[in-house]
Amino acid sequence: MKRKVCVEGSRTDVQVPFSEIGLSGGEPSLRLYDTSGPGSDPEVGLAALRQSWIWERGDVESVPAQGSANAGRTVLRAKAGRTVTQLGYARAGVVTPEMEFAAIREGLEPEIVRGEIAAGRAILPNNINHPESEPMLIGERFLVKINANIGTSAVSSSIAEEVDKLTWACKWGADTVMDLSAGKHIHQTREGIVRNSPVPIGTVPLYQALEKVDGDPQQLSWEVYRDTVIEQAEQGVDYMTVHAGVLLRHVPLAADRVTGIVSRGGSIMAAWSLARHEENFLYTRFRALCEIFAAYDIAFSLGDGLRPGSIADANDAAQFAELRTQGELTKIAWEYDVQVMNEGPGHVPMHKIKENVDKQKEWCANAPFYTLGPLTTDIAPAYDHITSAIGAAMIAMFGTAMLCYVTPKEHLGLPNRDDVKAGVIAYKIAAHAADLAKGHPGAQAWDDALSKARFDFRWEDQFGLALDPDTARSYHDETLPASPAKTAHFCSMCGPKFCSMKISHELKDLTAEGMRRKSWSSSKPAPKCTCLSTDLGQAATSRQRGALV
């Protein structure tokens, strides 16, 4: 049924994994993009897939870690004066093994990948200290990606649980994972996650920085923040959300909102700026940050700290003021060859979704857009994976490159394992629906394979091709558990007599029969129409059969 296969690139150490779904009935097997990784023992972590590619370029060195939490550890860093980002390589005309790997995953030519990265329209997040991750692309031209947020909060969860959620999220299709841990053991939790993650890991360094100053935004400083970024850079975080677009002058724009500032990072920086009447240090020190990011190939995920948290606040002045600043910062990052994407909303009614993408493309010069949903209504807490899957599918159709999932627990509590799966599945649906709408080459092959299996009553193939085979099978078996039902030409929804697909098969035979007869000379005897006499009943007379078209 399902097995992992690898496609080799131009060199033997480029081995790109796919899921291959074997089918019955003489159908060719189907290869699907695979995020699950090679599997790891959490105590040991994953193998360093990209290590040799990183070293062979000769632009990194092994140095003692600077971050105090990494004391005694040796980490990679760009040699002085060297830029080790995929954007830098792409601009220099180099197709890296990382790019080739990602191109094979997408079924595209490596040169297309290089071109999209060089133009800033796509990113390939992969910190040189996270050699375990499998290269992937975030960009409008590629398959729509999804991110799953995990992480401990101050009141819930443990490290082992979070590593388990990581593996679980990747199994179901998460393309990247953000570790949003707060509370105790942030460093150790992240260590467990990065070492076991086959996908790029994102963080919001501000959360840990705030923990370091005991949760008091007033004690935050550039120095504490910078040290936190370096600590995380050395661990291997691949992209970081930086709320550098929340400027002092933007904050009053959010004062009269129904839900104020709903981004944690945004509200923390607004509190810092406002109380001190100083400009956001993430903005004033942005070039220093770029230098750090360039040394490890960390990508910016420019945070939208003023994103709307309710339908009422969508597309307002605060949100768009920040988006303009995100555009300004995008271009600065590119000066340093640092990869960038832009975060977007939030809560947006359907008719206001397209404007978000249009403005982001214009103001941020087509850098990849990475949105949280958006939720298309506020009325359904406990179902925000659905309220937001609607918005996510639409915004991705318009050009958003990556969708940050929302789980059923949004607004209510920390997602558990089941919630993570529910969020990932809802977002894989949204992303794939957008791939279809965008006409991504090959996207529809999956739908066609499943629909063909459905029409042929190949139940096992239908389950195997389903986004979630386990649940599809269990739902089917709830009413028809017996093994013969797996080959039956109906299910319990309509029962045997009313199965349109069964009747439709008989129709197909009938139509073909009519066509065939038409093309024969009239002297030949009409063949017996077996399907009519057996399945559709005995009523048709010979005369009627003769008249069949």
First to last CA, the chain: 40
Instruction: Give me the residue label for tokens 């195997």.
Output: 464
Of 10, 188, 511, 530, the residue at the interface with its own copies (CB under 8 A) is: 511
Pick between residue 94 and residue 382 the one whose CB is nearest to its own copies: 382
| DSSP, res 347 | B
Whichever of 272 and 334 has its CB closer to its own copies, that residue is 272
Which 161-200 positions form the footprint of its own copies (CB under 8 A)?
Answer: 182-183
Angle between helices 353-363 and 384-398 (to 10 degrees): 50
Q: Closer to its own copies at the Cβ: 128 or 254?
A: 254
Nearer residue to its own copies within complex by CB, 139 or 217: 217
Q: Which is nearer to its own copies, 170 or 251 (CB)?
A: 251
**Cα distance between residue 273 and residue 280, in whole Å:** 5
Residue list 383-402, contact with its own copies (CB under 8 A)? 383, 385-387, 389-390, 393-394, 397
Interface residue with its own copies among 52, 479, 487, 534 (CB under 8 A) is 479
Residue 531 marked ligand-binding:
no
274-303 positions binding its own copies, by CB under 8 A: 274-277
Closer Cβ to its own copies, 332 or 437, answer by number: 437
CB of 358 to its own copies, least distance (A): 17
Whole-number Å distance between alpha carbons of 452 and 502: 13
Q: Which of 185, 514, 517, 526 binds its own copies (CB under 8 A)?
A: 514
Select from 72-80, 105-113, 320-328, 471-479 the region that touches its own copies (CB under 8 A): 471-479
Give the nearest distance from C-beta 102 to its own copies in angstroms: 22
Question: Long-range contacts for 263-266 (Cβ within 8 Å, ≥24 apart)?
Answer: 263/303, 263/304, 263/305, 263/306, 263/307, 264/204, 264/206, 264/207, 265/204, 265/206, 265/207, 265/241, 265/303, 265/305, 266/303, 266/304, 266/305, 266/306, 266/307
Contacts to its own copies from residues 215-234, by CB under 8 A? 215-219
Q: Give the residue with the Cβ less far from its own copies, 52 or 153.
A: 153
- The three state secondary structure string of 285-338 is CHHHHHHHHHHHCCEEEECCCCCCCCHHHCCCHHHHHHHHHHHHHHHHHHHCCC
Which 490-509 residues touch its own copies, going by CB under 8 A?
Answer: 491-501, 503-508
68 near its own copies, judged by CB under 8 A: no
Are 412 and 382 in contact, with CB atoms under 8 Å apart? yes
Measured from the CB atom, the residue of 62 and 483 that comes closer to its own copies is 483
| 200: helix, strand or coil | coil
Note whether 94 binds its own copies by CB under 8 A: no
Of the candidate residues 52, 156, 158, 542, the single one contacting its own copies (CB under 8 A)? 156
User: Peptide bond before 464: cis, by omega within 30 degrees of 0?
Assistant: no
Sheet with 2-8, strands from edge to edge, namely 2-8, 15-21, 30-33
467 binds its own copies (CB under 8 A): yes
Considering only 44-52, 90-98, 258-266, 289-297, which stretch makes contact with its own copies by CB under 8 A? 258-266
> 10 Å Cβ neighbour count for 21?
22
Q: Are 124 and 136 in contact (CB under 8 A)?
A: yes
Contacts (CB under 8 A) with its own copies, residues 308-337? 309-312
Kindly state whether residue 411 participates in binding its own copies, applying the rule CB under 8 A.
yes
Task: Please tell me the distance from the alpha carbon of residue 124 to that of residue 117, in angstroms, as a whole number.
Answer: 8
How remote is the C-alpha of 343 from its chain's centroid? Answer: 13
- Region near its own copies per CB under 8 A, out of 12-20, 48-56, 154-162, 222-230: 154-162
For 37, the token pair is 């990784």
- Residue 461 assigned ligand-binding role: no
296 annotated as ligand-binding:
no
Q: Which residues are annotated as a binding site for substrate?
A: 149, 178, 207, 243, 263-265, 304-307, 343, 370
